[in-house]
Every structure is written in C-alpha cells, then in structure tokens.
C-alpha cells in the first residue's frame, strides 16, 4: 500500500489518473489486511491488494462525483455492492479515478475536473470513459481497478493503455451503487495487468444481488477453465469488424498477427458475419442518450450535489444543470430527450431497439459456428489530446468494435496484443452470454502463447 501511494505521488503530475486519493482509508484497510494475514482468518486472494475505483461507483463516506461538477461534494451514505464485496475480501482502496463525465466519452477528456493522460505517451489520451482506471493500472499506481462499460468504456481504454479489461455479461455483476448512465447497457468490470488477475477480481464481485433486479441468480465460476487453452476451440473472425471506417492499417496488421498466435496455439479460425454492424453505432447513440436523459433527470440540486440559486425553483433547476453538466452530457441529454419525445419515439427509439434485436441475433447466429469472436478492440491507437474533441462523430467511432457487445449483453475482454506506431493495441474476445469464462480462457491462452 505504501509503495503504491508513493507511485501515485510520483506519477500523478504526469498522468492525472485520480480525482482523489483516500490515504487514510487505504492505511486503515491495509492495517486490517495485515491483521487478517497474520491470523490467517478471512484471507482471500484480494486481501491487502491495492485497487483504484472509477468515480461512478459509490464508496460510503468518500466523495463520488461521476467526474461531474454537478455531484461535487456528494459523499454516498452506502457502498455499491461491488465495493461491499471487495471490503469483505480485504481489499485496500487507494482512491477514485478520473473518467468522462457520467461515463460519457471515449477519451477521459470530458471529465468535469481535468483530462487523464496515457502513461505510454502523456501527449495522448488513455481512452474512455474509464481512462483513469486504465491509466492507474498501466502506470503502476494500482494493482487493479474497477471501471464500467456501457459501449466499450472498459475494453477501449484497456486497449489504448496496454492492460487487460473485462466487461462481464450484462447481469453478472450488480449495478447497485453505480451512478447510472444507460441502465440496460452499464456493467462494472475489472482492469488488471494480466488475465488471471482480472478473473480473480471478476469472481469476487460477481453474483446475484436482491437490490439489483437485473443481476442474475446464476452460478459464478470464471476460474475453472482459465488455463484450458484454445486447442479445439473455433474462434470467429467477423469480416465486418476488419472493414470498419477508420481502421488503422497498423492496428489491423497487429491483430491479424495475434490471430495467427491463437491459431498456432490450436484454435481454428473461422470467418463469421455480423451483418448489422454498420447500424450499431446509430442504434447505440439513440438508446444510450435516451436512457441517459431519463437517468440524469434526478440531478435537480435539491437533495445532493451542486446547487446554483435562481429567482425561483425552475430557474434554480436550469442554472444548476447548465453549470453542473458539461457540454457532452448536455448534448446527450438533448439527443435522448428528443428521441423519446412525442412524435419521434417510434421513428428513433423504437427503431433503434429493433436494430438492437437484430444485432443480438447476428451474434447468436455467429456463435452457432464458433465458441468466441476475436477482433481488434479499438480501430485506432491512442490519439493526441484534443484531436477529436471538436468532432463528436469521430470520437464516437472509437466505440464501433465494442458497443455491439453491450447491445447484445455479451461478455468481452481486451488483452494487449502488441503495438502500432509504438502504442498499445488490444485484442478483443467476445463470448456468448454467461460464457465469461470462455472469453477469459481465450484471452489467457493468447497471453500464454504470446509470452
């Protein structure tokens, strides 16, 4: 714990991964972990291991702001379920990591506080929205970290920062205590430097929760087949994912080399098709903002967070939300409100949900021919800070290979697979629903074969 606090002190001026460091809490938890380890009672694989927490996951008594000014000063009176489970496991909380405001973004430049920088090149972004968590792990500031994935917000920054990032099956991990962005898409998952560490964390935080009606009462075992290798597995290579707009040649070549590594390790590569891929981006950017519009209506300046007084209650609402929400959040609230409004609901939101069904069916058909799907995680490597802020569509295109997994509720993992232009590239593995263990198995097999 002390060593990681020292690394944070050294690296933070360069990286800016954290919004707040919880030194006192970390020291008290580390002392408790020492007692557990000395007595041998209540020891788990995570006892005493320092982690970082994305600033959208509630930690009792610790300021949790979702990277937004509108929640400045908010200290949750309760723990999120994942936090309660990690406390019980004896983990050590180093602090809250930076993120795009309310997890809306692909670069961690939309934070209401400051941008985070990529540890491999501080002039470039770490990805987003969980860029602070990815950067904290990549820079050695934390052993592992929690993030959230709504359209790729764990896997994409994991790829850009050269670490492992896991998005579980929707419903595998409780969302109780997660500050919601899009409730039918959000899922909490781990970052780590290796697949086994990510699997250990996922095992610890998974499982049913009576406080989250979307969490599934299904057995959790993501470790038993971790070292089984890929001998005899069929891995689908979706041709549409290698033809997306903006795919960098260096990224494509690096991922193709990674596929050959898996093939040499015993996997059979088969071409599959996901024909509605081109419609995924449009569908996602109707569904997610619509849910955001609904979820963020609760931030009214009355109960918690920022309050900017006006001449009357309505003016107080308007001033608070105008000053508290950043431009990207306001953009998505307006898009979502429009898509849900009378006269446009059927034309936009309902149609997007039908496309979502078609995308889910694409994956179901593909998985009839393969055990998992492999592709690039991001079509590009980390781009310079500020390069895409003026062009929202260019920013949104960073999620084109990841958001399909969210729309279909699939488990997915990004594992480092090399570099392009000296910057990390990620290999994405998607598996059928509830086959989180298969996704991790393939990622682990690649990790072993590569090494």
Q: Confirm if 382 and 424 have CB atoms less than 8 A apart.
A: yes
| Helical ranges in 40-165 per DSSP H | 81-89, 131-138, 155-161
Asked if 287 and 356 touch (Cβ cutoff 8 Å), the reply is: yes
Q: Would the pLDDT of 303 be above 90? A: no
Flag whether 183 is in a domain: yes
Report the pLDDT value the prediction gives residue 354, as an integer from 0 to 100.
Answer: 97
pTM reported for the whole predicted model: 0.97
Overall average pLDDT of the 221-227 stretch: 96
Crossing angle (nearest 10°) for helices 195-205 and 436-450: 160
Domain membership of residue 93 (yes or no) is yes
Provide the domain limits for residue 171: 2-205
Q: How many angstroms separate the CA atoms of 201 and 85, rounded?
A: 10
Report yes or no on 29 lying in a domain. yes
Asked whether residue 286 is assigned to any structural domain, the reply reads no
Beta-carbon-side half-sphere exposure of residue 139 (alpha carbons within 13 Å):
32
| 167 within a domain of the structure (yes/no) | yes
What is the predicted pLDDT for the residue at 367? 98
Report the alpha-carbon distance of residue 216 to residue 158 in Å, rounded: 26
52, part of any domain:
yes
Catalytic annotation, residues = 54, 129, 153
Look at residue 224 and tell me if it is in a domain: no
Quick count: other Cβ atoms within 10 Å of Cβ 206? 26
In the block, residue with structure tokens 């694989």: 45
**CA atoms of 295 and 150, how far apart (whole Å):** 14
Instruction: Provide the number of structural domains found in the chain.
Output: 1
- With tokens 């087949």, the residue in question is 225
- What are the distances in angstroms from CA 310 to CA 190, 301, 304, 317, 345? 42, 11, 17, 8, 32
For the beta carbon of residue 421, count every other beta carbon within 10 angstroms: 11
DSSP 211-267: T-TTS------SSTTTTS-STT-EEEEEGGGGS-TT--HHHHHHHHHHHHHHHHTTP
Structure tokens at 294: 């609904």
Condensed to tens digits (0 to 9), the pLDDT of residues 147-172 reads 999 999 999 999 999 999 999 999 99
Domain assignment of residue 50, yes or no? yes
* Average pLDDT estimate for 207-217: 96
Question: What is residue 77's predicted lDDT score, i.e. its pLDDT?
Answer: 97
Q: What is the pLDDT of residue 451?
A: 79
Q: Read off the pLDDT of residues 238-288 as tens digits, 9 standing for 90 and up.
A: 999 999 989 999 999 999 999 999 999 999 999 999 999 999 999 999 999
Strands 164-167 and 188-192, sheet pairing = antiparallel
pLDDT tens for each residue of 136-147:
999 999 999 999
Q: What percent of the chain has pLDDT over 90?
A: 98
User: What pLDDT, on the 0 to 100 scale, is given for residue 126?
Assistant: 98
CATH number for 15? 3.90.1300.10
What distance in Å separates the CA atoms of residue 317 and residue 212, rounded to the nearest whole number?
29
User: Mean pLDDT over residues 203-217, rounded?
Assistant: 97
Preceding omega of 167 cis (within 30 degrees of 0): no
Q: Is the pLDDT of residue 301 over 90?
A: no
Give the whole-number percent of the chain exceeding pLDDT 70: 100
Q: Which helix (H) or strand (E) is 412 found in, with range? A: strand 412-420
68-119 pLDDT, tens digit each: 999 999 999 999 999 999 999 999 999 999 999 999 999 999 999 999 999 9
Q: Is 430 exposed, middle or buried (0-12, 13-18, 19+ CB in 10 A)?
A: buried
């Amino acid at each position: 714990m002390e060593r990681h606090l020292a690394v944070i002190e050294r690296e933070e001026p360069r990286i800016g991964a954290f919004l707040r460091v919880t030194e006192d809490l970390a020291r008290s938890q580390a002392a408790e972990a020492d007692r557990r380890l000395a007595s041998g009672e209540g020891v788990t694989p995570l006892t005493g291991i320092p982690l970082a927490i994305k600033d959208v996951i509630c930690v009792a008594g610790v300021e949790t702001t979702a990277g937004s000014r509108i929640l400045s000063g908010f200290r949750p009176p309760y723990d999120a379920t994942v936090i309660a489970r990690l406390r019980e496991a004896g983990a050590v909380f180093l602090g809250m990591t930076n993120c795009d405001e309310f997890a809306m973004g692909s670069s961690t430049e939309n934070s209401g506080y400051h941008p985070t920088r990529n540890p491999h090149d501080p002039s470039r972004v770490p990805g987003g929205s969980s860029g602070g968590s990815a950067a904290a792990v990549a820079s050695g500031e934390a052993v592992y970290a929690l993030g959230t994935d709504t359209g790729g917000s764990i896997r994409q920054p994991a790829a850009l920062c050269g670490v492992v990032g896991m998005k579980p099956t929707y419903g595998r991990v409780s969302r109780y205590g997660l500050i919601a962005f899009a409730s039918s898409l959000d899922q909490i998952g781990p970052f780590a430097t290796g697949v086994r560490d990510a699997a250990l964390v996922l095992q610890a935080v998974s499982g049913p929760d009576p406080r989250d009606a979307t969490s599934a009462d299904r057995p959790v075992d993501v470790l038993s087949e971790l070292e089984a290798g890929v001998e005899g597995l069929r891995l689908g290579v979706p041709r549409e994912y290698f033809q997306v707009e903006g795919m960098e040649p260096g990224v494509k070549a690096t991922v193709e080399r990674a596929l050959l590594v898996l093939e040499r390790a015993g996997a059979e590569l088969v071409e599959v098709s996901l024909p509605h891929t081109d419609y995924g981006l449009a569908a996602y950017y109707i569904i997610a903002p619509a849910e955001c519009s609904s979820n963020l209506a609760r931030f009214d300046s009355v109960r918690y967070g920022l309050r900017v007084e006006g001449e009357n209650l309505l003016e107080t609402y308007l001033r608070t939300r105008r000053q508290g929400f950043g431009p990207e959040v306001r953009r998505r609230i307006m898009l979502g409100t429009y898509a849900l409004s009378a006269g446009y609901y059927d034309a936009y939101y309902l149609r997007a949900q039908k496309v979502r069904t078609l995308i889910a069916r694409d994956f179901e058909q593909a998985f009839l021919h393969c055990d998992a799907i492999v592709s690039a995680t991001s079509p590009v490597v980390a781009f310079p800070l500020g390069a895409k802020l003026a062009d929202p569509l260019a920013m949104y295109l960073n999620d084109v290979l990841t958001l399909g997994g969210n729309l279909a509720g699939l488990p997915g993992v990004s594992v480092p697979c090399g570099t392009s232009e000296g910057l990390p590239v990620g290999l994405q593995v998607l598996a059928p629903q509830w086959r989180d263990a298969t996704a991790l198995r393939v990622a682990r097999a690649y990790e072993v074969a590569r090494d």
